[in-house]
Amino acid sequence: MSKFQLKEILACPKCKTPLKKYIPKGICPKCHLEFKKEAGIWHLLKISKKNTSASVRLYEKLHLNKFVGPDDGSYEILASFARGNKCLDIACGQGDIEKLAPQTVGLEFSINALKQAQKKGIKNLVLADAQYLPFIDNSFDIAISSGNLEHFENPQKALLEMARVSKIQVLTAHKYPPIPFAPFIYKIVSFIFSVKHQAIEKPIDIKNLEIMYKAANLRIIYKGTWTLPFNRGKVITFLPEFTNTPSCNFIISIKK
């Protein structure tokens, strides 16, 4: 997607007013939210919730340095959806999908993550919150959300926004490990070992995802399991990474 095209689809993250005509002034005419493009990155971040703000602070620290994601082919698979399409990568991190599919628009609420993405030569970058997407309706052919819905303050709102701006939605969302009493054990282990790599960590099972998709007026056309590594980065230091664990739900959907 060219710079000109990205300008064409920008909208106020708060009131959704199209911003194309107001780019020179850098202020929304309806709600007066300020926006800008600085050092090649569009700034349209609206943050209000306490936990979301805490997430921003944590991620800014995390992304001061290069972050190494899974090397199991996950990003190549997701990038194959993006290639040849007008695509949005929600919570793009340091741009692993964008590196493989350069036309993709990467959206992230950590400016440090976007700066790391720029070091990879990635161009179409937007600083914004997934719960307040700064784009007009139906801006994208495809929106990708990879392993982040469970970290949002309001995952239902994030899914509604994803549906609003895209025709097809591709999502992976972490679920609890396939063991008895997993939610309870997950909470106990996180508390005992002070697992604080996420400000919000709420795995979502497939039944709840189906309810959320119905509320977002989305039709699921494919659902399966994604085997991303569990305990990636050895968050619990004395445990290994479990590489073949069915750790994520994988869903492709379209609007009804």
- Express as a percent the part of the chain with pLDDT over 70: 72
* Tally of CB atoms within 10 A around 35: 22
For 9-34, how does the pLDDT look when each residue is reduced to its tens digit (9 = 90+)?
999 999 999 999 999 999 999 999 99
CA distance 145 to 169: 8
pLDDT for 165 beyond 80: yes
CATH numbers and ranges of domains, the chain? 40-255 (3.40.50.150)
Give me 106's structure tokens.
Answer: 């990467």
pLDDT band at 246 (very low <50, low <70, confident <90, very high): confident
Backbone angles phi, psi at 2, to 5 degrees: -75, 165
Residue with tokens 């991620």: 59
Token match 């993250």: residue? 13
Cα–Cα nearest to 102, from 119, 112, 115, 87: 87
| 3-class secondary structure, 70 | coil
Distance CA 25, CA 123 (A): 23
> What is the spatial distance between Cα 195 and Cα 199, in angstroms, rounded to a whole number?
10
pTM to 2 decimal places: 0.84
Determine the pLDDT at residue 35.
96
